[in-house]
């Protein structure tokens, strides 16, 4: 059983926790650096990226999360979580982790009223995966070691950079847990590595 933290500053925290537990793993709501102790993976959920970045800073979570990343702990960012993970945010200087070798553009699919769902085919994960886009970012460019896992209308919406997984949409807002299962596979592979 993996112990997976979910950054609990705002956003769809409850939905992520429910799905982790549904898959038989332990979920921990992360609000302080003490909540990071002993976790095997970390999910950064959606929310408002500027607010979340400031709260990471205010709660002294930036350095502890970066320390976990240096230890190889897998991390999964959805929507605003992807923005926080990205190395570069186009036209923005909000506090963020800068761990994943991608550049993202915020709100690239429109405002809240422009939210939509679309089916995605993700060769390494599955077909007909419903992606829920809410004020979603997209990945503008990737580093040479980043694997592009899915695109929508020629925009990158799911990518992996080693231990980091980032998506533009909200997989936790559907009943389809295949993307979460993919991330948990990354976590269990990490657990198996002798340290």
pLDDT in tens, 118-172: 999 999 999 999 999 988 889 999 999 999 999 999 999 999 999 999 999 999 9
| CATH, domain 3-192, list 3.30.1370.10, 2.30.42.10, 3.40.50.880, 3.90.79.10 | 3.40.50.880
Question: Given 16, 25, 105, 172, which residue is catalytic?
Answer: 172
Residue 172 is among the residues annotated as catalytic for this protein: yes
Residue 138 is among the residues annotated as catalytic for this protein: no
Question: Given 16, 25, 79, 138, which residue is catalytic?
Answer: 79
Q: Which helix (H) or strand (E) segment is 81 a member of?
A: helix 80-85
Residue 105 is among the residues annotated as catalytic for this protein: no
pTM: 0.94
Delimit the domains of the chain by residue range: 3-192
Question: Given 16, 96, 138, 170, which residue is catalytic?
Answer: 170
The per-residue pLDDT for 95 is: 83
126-to-64, 94, 138, 179, 182 alpha-carbon distances in Å: 34, 34, 20, 9, 10
Cα separation of 43 and 61, whole Å? 14
């Amino acid at each position: 059983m993996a112990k997976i933290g979910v950054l609990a500053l705002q956003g769809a925290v409850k939905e992520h926790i429910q799905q982790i537990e549904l898959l038989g793993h332990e979920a921990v709501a992360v609000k302080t650096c003490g909540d990071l102790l002993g976790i095997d993976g970390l999910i950064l959920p959606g929310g408002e990226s500027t607010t979340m970045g400031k709260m990471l800073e205010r709660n002294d979570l930036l350095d502890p999360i970066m320390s976990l990343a240096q230890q190889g702990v897998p991390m999964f960012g959805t929507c605003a979580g992807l923005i926080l993970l990205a190395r570069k945010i186009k036209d923005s200087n909000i506090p963020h982790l800068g761990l994943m070798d991608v550049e993202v553009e915020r709100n690239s699919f429109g405002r809240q009223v422009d939210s939509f769902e679309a089916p995605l085919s993700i060769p390494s994960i599955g077909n007909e995966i419903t992606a829920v886009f809410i004020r979603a970012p997209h990945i503008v460019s990737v580093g040479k070691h980043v694997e592009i896992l899915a695109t929508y209308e020629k925009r990158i919406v799911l990518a992996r950079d080693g231990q980091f997984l980032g998506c533009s949409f909200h997989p936790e807002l559907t009943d389809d847990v295949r993307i979460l299962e993919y991330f948990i596979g990354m976590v269990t592979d990490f657990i198996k590595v002798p340290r």
